[in-house]
Copies of this chain bind each other. A is one copy, B any other.
Amino acid sequence: MIIKKDSKVAVVGDGSWASAIVKILLNNVDQLNWYIRLKEDLDYIKNRHHNPRYLQSVEYDTTKLNLYNTIGETVADADIIVFVIPSAYAAIATEKCSKDTFKDKFIVSAVKGIIPEIHQTTCDYFHHEFKVPMEQLGVVSGPCHAEEVALERLSYLTLSALESENADYLANLFSTKFIKTKSSDDIFGTEYAAILKNIMAVASGIAHGLGYGDNFQSVLISNAIREMKRFVDEVHPITRDIKNSAYLGDLLVTAYSQFSRNRTFGNMIGKGYSVNSAQLEMNMVAEGYYAVKGIYEINKKYNVDMPITDTVYRILYEKISAVMEFRLLSDILD
């Protein structure tokens, strides 16, 4: 399926990245459907032109927005669905959707993570649960903090789809004066890289919490990108340059940012918080927490050498001492 000119677009999700994507897309479309989970938030946006919870500084032109609070209504007349619901809630959010809800739609995955229990990426989930053909799946990849999009700070996105015409269409759709875009055919690699980088950011946070310094961090990240390359090259062996922005850039912006939820979560673990108390304290869930479990399970099939992922897994799920685990890891890094 080749995306038709002037396809109608819907955004499903109302967190910070969804709010940033809506801001981006409103530069390029006349009408945009937007799924807002809570009726009170929907009314707030309609009346006050701001999302009450995320990127509050962004003002929306509501004459261009069609707001809904069911996914079914949001996607009904749309051709391209940008799906931005965190993986931990993706299955719950879509459980009321019928098998036909996403029929003949082009799905763009924008929030990266592994769906818990079933251990699937967002693309895999739509492909298996809703029978969306691979050719109708796309991925939008960072490096991109939503907060900087709100400030219109120059950022770069990579849009991936198997058909180059579709990737180019999406690249145009997301291109604005403050967003430069490129297209790629690597939906598998970009989606997995975006998931893996969250694990690496948790590792980076743990290291920081344990008192390791900048010298160690740079070695950790240079090992991390090699670990990511080993995994994605095994899972989907095509020619790719892992040093491109969609892979390495995305890792850097996440692992080196003080604002990264995954890094903050890791930092608390490194400082001795339990997983539960870290999550309570943060009042949010770090994607990397689910990602590491999912990748660990998926890697049982592939058996890729993943010392950093294994280390984070053992610390978070087997409650092995972070001090001990990082001492062992530091002997493996080079």
- Least Cβ distance of A135 to chain B in Å? 25
A146–B256 Cα distance when bound, in Å, is: 20
Contact check: which of B153, B216, B248 meets A215 at CB < 8 Å? B153
User: A213 contacts which of B148, B215, B225, B247 (Cβ < 8 Å)?
Assistant: B148
- Collect the chain B residues with CB atoms within 8 Å of residue A241's CB: 226
A333 at interface (Cβ–Cβ under 8 A)?
yes
The answer to whether A215 and B143 touch (CB under 8 A), given A222-B252, A249-B222, A252-B221, is yes
Complex Cα spacing A243 to B251, Å: 13
A214 and B253: CB pair below 8 A?
yes
Residues of B within 8 A of A333 (CB): 156, 180, 245
Question: A143 to nearest B CB, angstroms?
Answer: 4
| CA of A243 to CA of B252, assembled, Å | 13
Q: Are B216 and A154 in contact (CB under 8 A)?
A: yes
Q: Which of A233-250 contact B (CB under 8 A)?
A: 241-245, 247-250
Whether A215 contacts B180 by the Cβ 8 Å rule is no
Query: How near does chain B come to A254, taking the closest CB pair, in angstroms?
Result: 9
Q: Which residues from chain B contact A218 at a C-beta distance below 8 Å?
A: 143, 245, 248-250, 252-253, 256
Contact between B182 and A334 (Cβ–Cβ < 8 Å)? Answer: yes
Q: Is A97 an interface residue (CB 8 A)?
A: no
Task: Establish whether residues A215 and B144, one from each chain, have CB atoms under 8 Å apart when the complex forms.
Answer: yes
Query: A248 contacts which of B222, B330, B334 (Cβ < 8 Å)?
Result: B222
Sample of 16 A–B contacts (CB below 8 Å): A143-B219, A148-B214, A153-B212, A154-B216, A155-B216, A180-B334, A218-B248, A218-B249, A222-B248, A222-B249, A223-B245, A226-B241, A229-B243, A242-B243, A243-B243, A256-B256
Query: With A156-B215, A214-B253, A222-B245 given, can you name 10 additional A-B contacts, CB distance below 8 Å?
Result: A142-B215, A143-B214, A153-B215, A154-B216, A154-B330, A155-B215, A156-B219, A218-B248, A222-B248, A245-B334
